[in-house]
Amino acid sequence: MEFGVYTFADLGIDPQTGKLGKAKDRLQEVLQAAKLADEVGLQVFGVGEHHRLDYAISSVPVVLSAISQQTKNIQLTSATTVLSTVDPVRLYEDFATLDLLSNGRAEIMAGRGALVDSFRLFGYNLEQYNELFEEHLELFLKLNNEATITWKGNYRPELSNAEISPRATNPIPVWVGVGGTPTSAKRAGRYGVGMAIVILGDDPKCFVPLVEDYRTAFKAAGHPKEQCQLAVTGHGYFTEDGKRARETFYTYFNNYWTYVNKQRDMFFHLDREDYDQMTSPEGSLFIGEPDEIIEKILKQHELLGHSRFLAQLDIGALPYKEVAKSIELLATKIMPGVNKYI
């Protein structure tokens, strides 16, 4: 199984100091985290896209390109690209450039994203989300395989013998992030791309039907079997002491969801009882000591059969030194512990 981490570089108020994070500092932390993840042997580092003042990253390929110059082996992916509100031609050109700069390490994870600010910002109609996503995905996959393209759709100007440059080393791997919608799972299978399940609060068993939908659609479309790939993503925090991990992370996890929901004009407070359920062996959060996390990942692997695990560690203004410890434990204890059994 491949292991990695991803970040949205949120700029929350530190619950310990009361200070608001700064974009410049967060970007430096992201670069440090990526470099560390590469050095300790993780396989994937992801960067998410948001278009708000309380997030530090809106230009994912720019940040990944900077990371590419400080790393050697780790795959570099968006997490996610809001595909409905980006021009597929520009998206391909940006990630092909990243791919060349990184010696073939670029990937794209496409999805709707947690927030919808990009629709208004770039002049797209949110009510056309599905149609835009479908058309943009279809066009991107065509661009990914053809250097000169003629194409006509409904939502962008047509292309006539257009030269798409530069060309990536090989076709860029594409994943679709799925939070719980059967339509999205079936679409990923129909187009023959990987599917990344976002497990944030629901019982992991709830995702079994989605995996079945994905694999059924994939097989029906006749895609090569080896392209059928499944990833699990979610929030994580690891220490050598599982009790301390749960105690420490509660403050930052509650802090994160408080200001995320404030962005949506919603009040939020996570009861400790609900949090304890989410961190239990059957819960959705990957919080605890390495042996606990190994057991949880193996249980989910039995359920879902995924081949990649990605953890989002740096939320709620969690100090970077704690993020770094989690990255090291993921690489040195959790990854080998899981792969010993798989």
The three-state secondary structure class of 305 is coil
To 10 degrees, the CA torsion angle through 67, 193, 175, 129?
130
pLDDT at 136: 97
Residue 204: which of 118, 94, 303, 128 has the closest Cα?
Answer: 303
pLDDT at 122: 95
**Residue range 285-329, pLDDT digits in tens:** 999 999 999 999 999 999 999 999 999 999 999 999 999 999 999
Burial of 88 (0-12, 13-18, 19+ CB in 10 A): buried
- Percent of the chain residues topping a pLDDT of 90: 85
Q: Given CA atoms 232, 338, 276, 210 in this order, what sign does their dihedral have?
A: positive
Structure tokens at 210: 């989605």
On whether the CB atoms of residues 253 and 315 are closer than 8 A, the answer is: yes
pLDDT at 267: 59
Q: Outline where DSSP puts E strands in the chain.
A: 2-7, 44-47, 75-78, 81-82, 106-111, 148-151, 159-163, 174-178, 194-198, 230-238, 286-288, 308-312
- The phi and psi torsions of 331 (rounded to 5 degrees) equal -80, -40
| Biggest alpha carbon–alpha carbon distance for the chain | 61
Residue 269: which of 256, 284, 286, 278 has the closest Cα?
Answer: 256
**Residue range 119-174, pLDDT digits in tens:** 999 999 999 999 999 999 999 999 999 999 999 999 999 999 999 999 999 999 99
- Between CA 339 and CA 44 the distance in angstroms is 16
pLDDT at 12: 85
The three-state secondary structure class of 233 is strand
Question: What CATH number does the domain located at 2-340 have?
Answer: 3.20.20.30
pLDDT at 256: 87
Confidence of residue 264 (pLDDT cuts 50, 70, 90): low
**Selected residue with higher pLDDT from 39 and 227:** 39
Q: What is the pTM of this model?
A: 0.96
**Mean of per-residue pLDDT scores for the chain:** 94
pLDDT at 16: 86
Whether the per-residue pLDDT at 9 is higher than 80: the answer is yes
Residue 231 is classified by DSSP as E
